[in-house]
Amino acid sequence: MKWTEDLVAIATGVFILGFALVVFVMAPYASASEQVTTGSVNIEQTTLTSHLHLMVAKFQKWTQNPLDTFEGKNYAWGLLSLLLAFGVLLGAGAAVLGTPVKKFLKGFVIVFLVGLVAYVLQSQVSFKSIGLGYALWAIVLGIFISNTFGLPEWLKPALRHELFIKTGLVLLGAEVLFGKIMAIGLPGIFVAWVVTPIVLVSTFWFGQRILKMSSKSLNITISADMSVCGVSAAIATAAACNAKKEELTTAIGLSMVFTSVMMVALPAFIQAVGMPEVLGGAWLGGTIDATGAVVAAGAFLGDTAMNVAATIKMIQNILIGVIAFAVAMYWTTKVDRVQGKKVPASEIWNRFPKFILGFIGASIFFSLLQGTMNPELSEVLIEKQLFGFTKGIRGWLFCLAFVSIGLSTNFKELRGQFSGGKPLILYVCGQLLNLGLTLLMAWLVFYKIFPEITATI
């Protein structure tokens, strides 16, 4: 069997999830299950579990001195352990793909340090309040470094952005739990699964027929990024249509900028007009791209809005695999098809991004696992302990991917993608359509068609 980036990403993601499952769930399960019968769950932190959480601990907020972000915990020990763990896991993956471990590690240290700076900048109070997260800082720092100082050859072997982000997406799959989806029920499914395809197809049509965009792959990548769930969907779609790196960077850049604006502007608008929390949360969940930004925006409105927003975004995340498969099929049979030549089914399979299978598999496994556990125990062991660790790892993998994308991006090439302003016009028009349709659908399903479900939320 030939190892590909997708297979390595799945293997790495499964290893991380398996390791976390043993440490955070299987080991403490016996003693915790006894305590559940008494009506409480009390999990004692071992040295190992405490250290694993330290590795992905959130930095402290700071105002003027960046070093203030490291106060209160032994962050240095946790970050060193995280660097070593990534070096072993990702280095092994790079080696399987043909990059010598020594060459990978030499550049990876720099990638990690730039990612660390991105996280520190995210923790600054003013930046955090307006939604400037690590993802935006990572890609901006990378572009600045590569276009100011140049990109040395020894750094290039470490820029494995697809390996990093695909592994992170496998971890994301574990967090998409069917139990949470069913808690919202049909209204959430209508908001996430009806509006999204309409916006995606309409935006792609608009880009081709009205804006006359020359690159179909850039068109569909921006459309998927804006309509589905941001960066995750952009990565999957770009892989399915063989989009250029610069096109993916353009889509991600637009997403990050508008996400930062929307996560502040939408909650303010919702509060100003007195919109109900459930409706506001549904609107946020269906329109803001990044999951973290959705949760943050929902928190501005209250716990109900935050839960509704996060759940709808989770339902929407399921479409990553569906959209990737649909794009792979369309691109193979329509866009890249040679006239007069039949396209075999194997070609669609070859084009399909295989890491999506890891995403789906992780979702199914952890949904079934939670279904067999006591709800109270599941919340502590899986939601707080296991996901508390894997979400941190996923965030770092995404950060490393954005740093790699930035470092390998030539600003002149990136500027060329915005020729005529068409990508920006496409994103703005598509997002306006998305905002309008999502709000209308959320109002209909939550307050006109299924009001009894809304009353229980």
Candidates 163, 162, 181; CA nearest to 364 is 181
SS3 (DSSP) at 62: strand
Q: Give first-to-last CA distance, the chain, whole Å.
A: 49
Alpha carbon distance 37, 23 (integer Å): 22
Amino acid, single-letter form, for residue 429: C
SS3 (DSSP) at 158: helix
Q: How many CB atoms lie within 10 A of CB 148?
A: 8
Number of H helices, E strands in the chain: 25, 0
CA angle 98, 101, 103 (to 5 degrees): 90
With tokens 């932190």, the residue in question is: 45
Report the chain's C-alpha Rg in angstroms: 22
CA distances from 215 to 206, 237, 405, 407, 417 (A): 13, 14, 20, 23, 9
CA distances from 201 to 148, 351, 394, 413 (A): 39, 20, 30, 27
Domain ranges of the chain: 5-456
298/42: higher pLDDT: 298
What integer best gives the mean pLDDT of the chain? 85
Structure tokens at 185: 């029920």
Which of the residue ranges 53-57, 179-183, 188-192 has the most confident prediction, judged by mean pLDDT?
53-57
Q: Render pLDDT for 100-118 as a digit per residue (tens, 0 to 9).
A: 999 999 999 999 999 999 9
The share of the chain scoring above pLDDT 70, in percent, equals: 89
Find out whether 241 and 411 touch, Cβ atoms under 8 Å: no
Residue 166's pLDDT is 87
pLDDT for 11 beyond 90? yes
pLDDT for 283 beyond 80? yes
Segment 253-257 shows an average pLDDT of 81
Structure tokens at 97: 């793909």
Alpha carbon distance 285, 278 (integer Å): 10
Candidates 295, 320, 318, 167; CA nearest to 232 is 320
pTM, two decimal places: 0.78
Residue 413's pLDDT is 63
Alpha carbon distance 439, 441 (integer Å): 6
Q: Render pLDDT for 316-358 as a digit per residue (tens, 0 to 9).
A: 887 888 888 888 888 888 877 666 566 566 666 776 778 888 8
Alpha carbon distance 38, 74 (integer Å): 35
Find out whether 180 and 311 touch, Cβ atoms under 8 Å: yes
